Amino acid sequence: MPPFARLFSVTLVVCRYRLLSLLSAHPIRPLLVFLQYLVPTSWRGTGDLSEGERLRLALEELGPIFIKFGQLMATRRDLLPPDWTESLARLQDQVAPFDGGEARRKVQASLPKPFDQVFATFDERPLASASVAQVHPATLLDGREVVVKVLRPGVEMKVERDLRVMGFGARILEKLWSDSRYFHPVRVVRDYQSVIRGELDLEQEAGNSETMRRHFLFSSLLHIPEVHLEVSSRQVMISDRIYGIPVNDIERIKAAGIDPRALAERGVEIFFAQVFRHNFFHADMHPGNIFVNPATPDLPQYMAVDCAIAGRLSRHDLNVLGRMVLAVMREDYPMLVDLVIRAGWSNAPIDRHRFEQEATQLLAPVRSASLEQLEFAPLVLRLFDLAREYHIEAPVQYVLLMKTLVHIEGLGRSIYPQLDIWTVGRPLLEAWMMEEYGPAATLNKLRNRLPEWTAQLPEMPDLLRDALENLRDHPQRQRDLEFRLASNLRHNRRRALAGVGAVALGLLAGIDALLVGSGWAWPLGGTGAVLLAWSLRA
């Protein structure tokens, strides 16, 4: 059950920016647009704002959780138009810090021992503040300088409230609009819920940090500060403080004697190592989270913080990704198209010949460009634009990976504009492919699977017979399934229409109660409540 007070305030903002007018064609769309214009907040109009700007401003007005959702959706060019994603990419998560004394009390309540037995000093002035948490500098009794990350008071309740509102809206949209099956709003919101809930669990962030730190413990490429797990908790995380140069401060990097080209290329090495060697990557590598170690100018080293969002691919997805990137680097476009089709990401039939032609027309000119013009991340974004036209939707982990790649190449080119991610990345990727799928790896896999196959060999005749019988009965089962799906679709549409009607009646009741005062508020509200209860019943 969604929180109705918050749902009402969200509806007012939606009408303020006339977002219902952005919905695709549907028999009920004119009614919704008409009801939208009955809400006083919509009377101001939107001026010359584009669709993307209206969406961005609405999310900013709705608060941090919706802003974070918009930031994640800014990478979903496989689902949303470019105008929308470009506007969403400009969303800013700016939140005033909460009281430092309250932060100190939260830290004290979470510690397994008295405060003065852990900290020698604790600065109540935060180093940084965001929508989910803020960070305070401190010193342990042994003299080690640390930073203390503390969740904002009440943030869990606000997040769950807004997530319920998002989920309710996504369910209504998916049931009412048949075209929404191409971008799965319910699944998109569910994916986002897992991401934002991960940011609320500082124990999970601590685990991500320690995992990534172990991966690069003896490497000069990347440093992850150690987390003090014994005094950290779900709401408080204590880790070593680092003193690095912000990665976007190019002048200080050069003044420290660090070679920009070596630094940029080592960033690409980190990306490929995280994805293909360790299959665990930092998925929030924007400039605020990445620093450069000034103590090692001869071997440039990155320093990363805030590992709340981390990604891991399944074995199958990692294989598909590696072969896709290698196909692009080798200019083998038929192989790329074949991999996309066989991955099963499309929600509609694909015209293979036309898709291959368009992919080739997109990729070939980019690959023949000069070094200064050759950029990998924009190419990936254009591929996602093409994917959206063919209703191809990549898994959410791929989206996090794409976001990381965009940040990595953007950082690398800001440091060294001539960065060639293709030349640096191809040998690393080919070496990984050889380790995973070369002759030695194949023989090793065969040797490991041989006992299992030997044990299953006597059962093969029975399995073959069962498969043939299932194939014979498949047409009838398919017809039964189609009938049940059609019946469920009709039922869900009726429930969705009832839900929309209930929301409309609730809005009219609120307007009458607050502005008109004709006495119809209770009848309208009661009827809306009955409709809503019926639409939400199991």
Give the active site residues.
284
Q: What are phi and psi of 138, to 5 degrees?
A: -155, 170
- Collapsing DSSP to helix, strand or coil, 3 comes out as coil
- Name the H helices within 249-367: 250-255, 260-272, 315-329, 333-342, 352-367
Give the Cα separation of 371 and 367 in Å (integer): 9
- Residue at 194: amino acid letter: S
Give the Cα separation of 50 and 172 in Å (integer): 25
Q: Are 241 and 147 in contact (CB under 8 A)?
A: yes
Give the Cα separation of 305 and 314 in Å (integer): 25
User: CB-based burial of residue 109 (10 Å sphere; 0-12 exposed, 13-18 middle, 19+ buried)?
Assistant: exposed
- Per-residue burial over 436-451, b if 16 or more Cβ lie within 10 Å, else e, is eeeeeeeeeeeeeeee
Give the Cα separation of 340 and 351 in Å (integer): 12
C-alpha dist (Å) from residue 33 to 11, 36, 108, 165, 466: 13, 5, 52, 20, 54
Q: What is the CA radius of gyration of the chain?
A: 27
- Name the H helices within 177-304: 185-200, 202-215, 250-255, 260-272
Q: What are the structure tokens assigned to 203, written together?
A: 């124990």
Q: What are the structure tokens assigned to 346, written together?
A: 């499309």
Please list, in sequence order, all residues whose beta carbon lies within 8 angstroms of the beta carbon of residue 318, skipping any fewer than 6 positions away. 275, 276, 279
Give the Cα separation of 205 and 237 in Å (integer): 8
C-alpha dist (Å) from residue 298 to 248, 422, 465: 19, 24, 66
Q: What are the structure tokens assigned to 141, written together?
A: 């009794």
